[in-house]
Amino acid sequence: SQKIEQNSEALNIQEGKTATLTCNYTNYSPAYLQWYRQDPGRGPVFLLLIRENEKEKRKERLKVTFDTTLKQSLFHITASQPADSATYLCALDPYNQGGKLIFGQGTELSVKP
């Protein structure tokens, strides 16, 4: 069956360390993959989009990789801060038909001072 999976367990790290979150998918061939941040009780906030022909993309302290052979995306936050604590969601458009996003269940990140 088609699915998209993220680390199910919460990730706890120390301030200043690099957080690495994983997103794996099966039976899709997405043209792009997106990462969102969601704080409790709020809507997801778009962070980054990476296309299938891009291996890596960076934005400030964020870095995303996209391996279409492994069917995996990694999301890194360098020099993490307590303000980075949130749930991070990956999403893809499975049939590249414009906007029907399929989301992973999210990984909760907690950065301790």
49 residue type, one letter = L
- At closest approach, how far in Å is the CB of 49 from other proteins? 6
Interface pick for other proteins out of 17, 42, 58, 59 (rule CB under 8 A): 42
Total number of residues binding other proteins (CB under 8 A)? 23
> Cα–Cα distance between 109 and 111 in angstroms, integer?
7
Question: Considering the rule CB under 8 A, would residue 62 count as an interface residue with other proteins?
Answer: no
Q: Which of 84, 64, 73 is nearest to 16 (CA)?
A: 84
User: Of 15 and 46, which has the nearer Cβ to other proteins?
Assistant: 46
Question: Considering the rule CB under 8 A, would residue 99 count as an interface residue with other proteins?
Answer: yes
Q: Calculate the alpha carbon distances from 20 to 2, 42, 92 in Å.
A: 24, 23, 19
Stretch that binds other proteins, among 51-59, 67-75, 77-85, 103-111 (CB under 8 A): 103-111
- Cβ contacts of residue 97 below 8 Å, gap of 6+? none
Residues that bind other proteins (CB under 8 A): 34, 36, 41-46, 49, 89, 91, 93, 96-106
